[in-house]
Chain A
């Protein structure tokens, strides 16, 4: 029976349930402040950034690759755009276009290096990460570059009826990404590479192209994330991007990506990013130590990973019965 109904997979449904409960509990214990419009807009603004950071890792994980450099890449392109606007008085749109193009190019460089050396993407992006950390520091040093358009900085809080414009933009981006993996030939082929590269090779799929596309797409996501930073941060310094790595892995993993690749749970990543954002909100609501966030997220990821084999086994059984 091939049902054409749109069904919500059990994993995503669970995530939604957890998010709703967590939100209600948080809202209840903080005497309703979370539902106030200002808090809600702030939450969605930060959430937009978390989601796109999750996507920047999702796109590579789906092909069985990974990108350690997401944070420093984002920090570097932010620094370039900020310096161009502040020091060289470049108009905002041109600087932002340069930012996106540069991010895509850096992603492509990662992909090319992986293809050229035929090595694990981990070690390649570890090396490029180190380089980008250096470049970002070289650009901004210990200062904060902030003398650029105030309209750009305030754009992040522009909203329609309590929903920030940037959040709507991110939802559109997520939709496009989902369509890419579900409907386009390039997307399907990338997933085939991620699921089984030898099988994909035998089907005539050029795995190196999938890898290049994945890293370039990751670069694009980093660019979008950097754009979001530019529209909300009050300035760019060396710490921008420093805390992206954990989030970038946690969101897709909790979102249900098969860790060996071959799936791209866009919705799951989006929901997981929401959950992770709520953990941060909980921390600030209860005035806990910031280390709790790392601790809790690391623990959740570890448990998800440990349970993934169990989940795979039950899934196998279900397939065999059905």
Chain B
């Protein structure tokens, strides 16, 4: 009986999240068409869609970094600065050691992952809220990154580009041809690494034991520990993964900007939450949606790019993003509160029924 109830609950949960995904996807398309109708220039593939998709690709990875932390019920406020460190390490390895693009990128991601491990260890050892620890880490890294740039550079940027970086930042799928058929011009080459990462994350959360255990920890740390999940190790690993993803996003920014600067990552915080939360990832942990994160990020960036092409200023942009976040949160929490009330009511009915049964 209880098992059946659980199965039904699980199924409605999946259906609901699918419905949310469809709503989100159609919203992205609708808003895109609305902007195009108002101003046909918005459909301009080279000047609007290409950068839009390139930003969306990068910020999807940022969103996935935050999603990983959210999946265990934690947060990573240092996403931006971990990206900055990865960018910095890559930039240094290009500038001073003549590293190739791949080596530099891997070094940067490894440096970020190391910071993630450190963050995770501090959280596990101190038992302090991940929010405070990652915030302190963020402050530390802000200072550190700025210091390194002022020490090592004169123009506050590492500008040496290894082979292929310029190409990767400018190229589109039109360069990939299968015989006479080529990819579309408006799809940036950077979509490919982003999609590889997306595929990897889907595999982790759908298929791997590791991902399942992260979700379990997000639902209940104590139950997970009781079920013999090494919770402390998983928390550290989750933060390492989150940091590595943030680092990968930082490298993607370096590739599309053509230089590593200290400012990389300073704009990451709000979008990192908007993407996953719009896509149905729970702020409380234990529920993630990788595909949802893609569409959540796309929605944010279609809105942003639509508003900016219509000459809306920075202030209105900020206000609309903040209001959007508030709206999403309210809708999610109202449906959660209503669900809790419905469950409580169902329990009451059950209790009454069993009481009536025992009376007879």
Contacts and interface: CB of A to CB of B under 8 A. Distances in A.
Interface of A: 66, 113, 116-120, 122-124, 126-135, 137-138, 246, 249-250, 253, 259-260, 289-299, 301-302, 305-309
B329 interface: yes
Contact of B138 (A120, A259, A291, A298): A298
B61 interface: no
B333 A127 contact: no
A295 B140 CA distance: 5
Contacts of B322: 127-132, 134
B135 interface: yes
B133 A135 contact: no
Given A134-B319, A260-B129, 8 more contacts: A118-B337, A127-B325, A128-B326, A134-B316, A138-B316, A294-B140, A295-B143, A301-B140
B321 A138 contact: no
B321 A130 contact: yes
A122 B125 contact: no
B248 interface: no
29 contacts: A118-B333, A119-B329, A119-B333, A122-B131, A126-B325, A130-B270, A130-B318, A130-B322, A131-B318, A131-B323, A134-B314, A134-B318, A138-B313, A253-B132, A259-B128, A259-B132, A260-B129, A291-B142, A292-B147, A294-B139, A294-B140, A298-B138, A298-B140, A298-B142, A302-B140, A306-B125, A307-B126, A309-B126, A309-B128
A60 B91 CA distance: 40
Given A298-B141, A306-B125, A127 B326 contact: yes
Nearest to B277: A123
B43 interface: no
A291 B325 CA distance: 31
A120 B136 contact: no
A299 B323 CA distance: 34
Given A298-B138, A306-B126, A309-B128, A123 B283 contact: yes
A128 B270 CA distance: 11
A289 B146 contact: yes
Nearest to B75: A122
A27 to B, nearest CB: 25
Contacts of B129: 259-260
B329 A298 contact: no
Interface string B318-360: 1101110110011001101100000000000000000000000
B139 A297 contact: yes
B140 A126 contact: no
Contact of A116 (B132, B137, B315, B330): B330
A133 B266 CA distance: 15
A292 B139 CA distance: 11
Shortest beta-carbon contacts, A-B, top 3: A295-B143, A298-B140, A134-B318
A218 B133 CA distance: 22
Interface residues of B, number: 47
Nearest to A311: B126
Given A126-B273, A308-B126, A308-B128, A301 B143 contact: no
Nearest to B122: A306
A260 B318 CA distance: 31
B147 A295 contact: yes
Interface in B255-303: 269-270, 273, 277, 283-284
Given A131-B323, A302-B136, A117 B315 contact: no
B318 A133 contact: yes
A116 B337 CA distance: 10
Interface in B143-157: 143-144, 146-147, 150
Interface in B51-83: 75
Contacts of A293: 143
A294 B142 CA distance: 7
A305 B138 CA distance: 14
A127 B140 contact: no
A299 B270 contact: no
A246 B143 CA distance: 11
Given A119-B283, A302-B122, A302-B133, A137 B139 contact: no
Contact of B150 (A250, A291, A297, A301): A291
B138 A113 contact: no
A292 B323 contact: no
B270 A126 contact: yes
Contacts of B141: 298
A249 B336 CA distance: 31
Nearest to A310: B126
A64 to B, nearest CB: 9
Given A113-B326, A119-B329, A306-B126, A66 B146 contact: no
Nearest to A122: B131
Contacts of B140: 294-295, 298-299, 301-302
B197 interface: no
A163 B128 CA distance: 39
B295 to A, nearest CB: 19
B274 to A, nearest CB: 9
B264 to A, nearest CB: 15
A137 B322 CA distance: 14
B317 interface: yes
B70 to A, nearest CB: 10
B132 A289 contact: no
Contacts of A292: 143, 147
